[in-house]
Amino acid sequence: MRILVVYAHPDDESFGPAAVLAKYAREGAKIFGLIATRGEHGSTDLQPRPTPRELGQLREQDLRAAAAIIGFTHLDILNYTDGTLETVPTNELMEQILDAIRRYHPEVIITFGPGGITRHPDHLAIHRAVTAAFTRALAEGLGVCALYYDAVPPERAREMGLEGLPDGQPNTFIDVTETYPVKIAALRVHGRHIVDAREMADRLEREPQTVATLYRAWPKVKPGERLTGIHFS
């Protein structure tokens, strides 16, 4: 299986499907990453505060280290400016994603849902562009079979304001007992420089989540049906 994950910032992959990716990588899947920015405007508590350029370099190193821990086969970083993706034409982003699809021939694509989990404008821009690219790739017969969105368990959806969105209505529940520690390790790498990642790693150690949740947007899933892995036949 070949999986392409597309996100806005270094650490989105670790907050998101890291444990699922690690599970499938260990079963032989090839994992390709496309990250649009270096996250140079993320919240850091480094003193003295690095310049955006310096923080972007640190976060690229962190991303590559986290990707290695998770088991990525390859990772591409685009040169967009953190915080500006909503000003980039969707077609331009879509073409970059289509290029990656033509290069890596994924069957499965994983990205943000329409709520972007946190509603960050960069996340929403990535959601729109990836969904458009997937639709185009299906129409052009580029070999894509399934599109998945990040989704939180329903009990978290309410506190995150994601009720009613795919982001809060997972239909795929994957046992990640074996690779859950990989997600925490990847978050710890980002946590060297980014406060949120450190806090998330602490939280996941206190409250383990050994079932990872995703929303399969394509092929469509019947209401109430629960999938237990990445399937697309």
| Residues lying near Zn ion in the complex (CB under 5 A) | 8-9, 12
Nearer to Zn ion by C-beta: 6 or 29? 6
- Measured from the CB of residue 139, what is the shortest distance to Zn ion in angstroms? 29
Nearer to Zn ion by C-beta: 8 or 201? 8
Rama region for 106: left / alpha / beta (φ>0; ψ in -120 to 50; rest)? beta
Nearer to Zn ion by C-beta: 9 or 23? 9
Strands 211-218 and 146-150: antiparallel
- What is the 3-class SS of 95-158, one letter each residue? HHHHHHHHHHCCCEEEECCCCCCCCCHHHHHHHHHHHHHHHHHHHCCCCCCEEEEECCCHHHHH
- Measured from the CB of residue 210, what is the shortest distance to Zn ion in angstroms? 24
Q: Which residue is nearest to Zn ion (CB)?
A: 9
Cis peptide before 48 (omega within 30 of 0): yes
Nearer to Zn ion by C-beta: 120 or 216? 120
- Cβ-contact 110, 123 below 8 angstroms: no
Three-class SS state of 159: helix
- Measured from the CB of residue 225, what is the shortest distance to Zn ion in angstroms? 29
Nearer to Zn ion by C-beta: 137 or 215? 215
- Measured from the CB of residue 10, what is the shortest distance to Zn ion in angstroms? 8
- Say how far apart CA 158 and CA 42 lie, in whole Å: 25
Residue in the structure block whose two tokens are 């959806």: 157
Sign of the dihedral defined by the CA atoms of residues 190, 69, 18, 79, in that order: positive
- Measured from the CB of residue 120, what is the shortest distance to Zn ion in angstroms? 5
